[in-house]
Amino acid sequence: MELRNHTILITGGTSGFGYEFARQLLALGNTVLITGRNPAKLADTKRRLPQVHTFQSDVSDPAAIQRLAEQVGKQFPGLNVLINNAGEMRKLNLQDPATDLLDLTREIDTNLAGPIRMVQQFLPQLRAQKTAAILNVTSGLALTPYPVCPVYGATKAGLRSYTQSLRVQLQATNVKVFELVAPSAKTPLSEQFAADFKDSGVKESDLMAPDRVVAQALQSMQRDAWEVFPGMATALRYLSRLAPGFLVKQLSKGLTEALAQPQATAKAKAAG
């Protein structure tokens, strides 16, 4: 798929992978739209990338997705690429009796239900174009449990499975379905977990720069390679098959200490 002269919508586009997708796709000559929850972060991104079009929207809110689709449909009827990037990652102690039941599933709303609803809402517009694509950003933690962030890993595993089913259902249409299985990278989402990753044997030097991750994803799309596993995601891919028990044990190191941290310092959101 040639990545030029498209109209592309990126959720969670104010930092990390989302920002890099916006920056690199603008440089290739595309019209780029981004979403985010935080107006200040959207304004800052607009200042740094003047050509980008910003929309305040929350993928965890079905009504907000419907409003976004109406706005985009009117202003950018030629939209033909959707990148589901927005995500949230939190530490959760599943034995904590004080955990609120609604708050417990917040990551599901953002990381799993959000992309599913975005695809459902925008698919008719994508189908109306000559060429179209969907890229879902999952994670290496879709391949193996990370007990420190149990719901996050479950959402990414679910999104990976959904993406594979979506690809099959759309294989006879004009819509190509891609997946970026993202590694640990130097993003606001991952950096707040740096100490916990270190306990699992992940060094800071192992974290990929977001621009390199995104560049590999775009190269993969241009080759029509449906899945891309940059950096450590490749190792997780094979270890999850060859030594799954060892991998879970390694990722569980420091679990007690990690969950003992106050919840206020144990949250991370991607892109506003």
User: Pick from 248, 235, 255, 240: which is nearest to 183 by CA?
Assistant: 235
| Domains observed in the chain | 7-269 (3.40.50.720)
Return the CA Rg of the chain. 18
pLDDT at 160: 98
pTM of the model: 0.87
User: Pick from 117, 127, 125, 135: which is nearest to 175 by CA?
Assistant: 127
Q: List the beta strands (DSSP E) in the chain.
A: 7-10, 31-36, 53-56, 81-84, 88-90, 132-139, 175-182, 227-228, 267-269
Catalytic-labelled residue, pool 19, 146, 152, 162: 152
pLDDT for 244-262, tens place per residue?
Answer: 665 666 666 665 556 666 5
Whether 146 sits among the annotated catalytic residues: the reply is no
Per-residue confidence of the chain (272 residues) as pLDDT tens digits?
999 999 999 999 999 999 999 999 999 999 999 999 999 999 999 999 999 999 999 999 999 999 999 999 999 999 999 999 999 998 888 988 998 998 899 999 999 999 999 999 999 999 999 999 999 999 988 888 788 889 999 999 999 999 999 999 999 999 999 999 988 766 666 555 554 444 444 555 567 899 999 999 999 999 999 999 987 666 666 455 666 665 666 666 665 556 666 543 344 455 44
